[in-house]
Structure 1
Amino acid sequence: MTIETIIFYAFAAMAIGAGLLLVNIRNTARALFLFFVVLFAMAGLYLFALADFIAITQILIYVGGVLILLIFAFMLSNKELLKDIQTSSTRFISLANWQSVVLSITFLSLMVYTFVNWSQQMPGWIEQSISKGTLIQAKDNNIELLGFKFMTQYVLPFEIISIFLMMALIGAAHLSRKDNTA
Structure 2
Amino acid sequence: MSLVTVMFYLMAIIALGSALYVAASKNLVRSVFMFFVTLFALAGLYVLCLADFVAVTQVVVYVGGILVLILFAFMLSGRESLAGLQQSKNRLFAVQNLPAFLLVTLFFVVLVNIVIMAGVDNLPWLKQAEKMHNVIQPADVTINNLGVNLMTTYLLPFEAISILLLMALVGAAHLARKEEAL
What interval of TM-score do these two structures reach, taking the shorter chain for normalisation? 0.5 to 0.7
Residue 174 of structure 1 aligns to a residue whose secondary structure is helix
What is the root-mean-square deviation in Å for CA atoms of aligned residues?
A: 3.3
Q: Which residue of 2 aligns with 1:75?
A: 75
Asked whether the 8 Å contact 1:69–1:171 carries over to 2, the reply is: no
Unaligned runs of 5+ in 2: 84-135
In structure 2, the CA distance between the partners of 1:156 and 1:57, relative to structure 1 (3 Å rule), is farther
Asked if 1:135 is matched to 2:147, the reply is: no
1:21 aligns to what?
21
Offset, 1:20 = 3.1
Q: Is the 8 A contact 1:61 1:161 kept in 2?
A: no
Q: How many residues align?
A: 129
Distance in 1 between residues matched to 2:170 and 2:21, nearest whole Å: 30
Structure 1 residue 36 displacement after superposition: 1.6
CA distance, structure 1, for counterparts of residue 22 and residue 157 of structure 2: 29
TM-score of the aligned structures, taking structure 1 as reference length: 0.55
Mark the runs of 5 or more structure 1 residues left unpaired by the alignment: 83-127, 137-141
Match of 1:163 in 2: 163
Q: How far did 1:49 drift?
A: 4.8
Which amino acid in 2 is paired with 1:70?
A: I
For residue 72 of structure 2, what is the amino acid of its counterpart? Answer: F
The alpha-carbon distance between structure 1 residues 75 and 67, as it changes in their structure 2 partners (threshold 3 A), is same
Equivalent pairs: percent with the same residue?
A: 51
User: What is the aligned partner in structure 1 of residue 30 from structure 2?
Assistant: 30
CA distance in 2, matches of 1:27, 1:159: 34
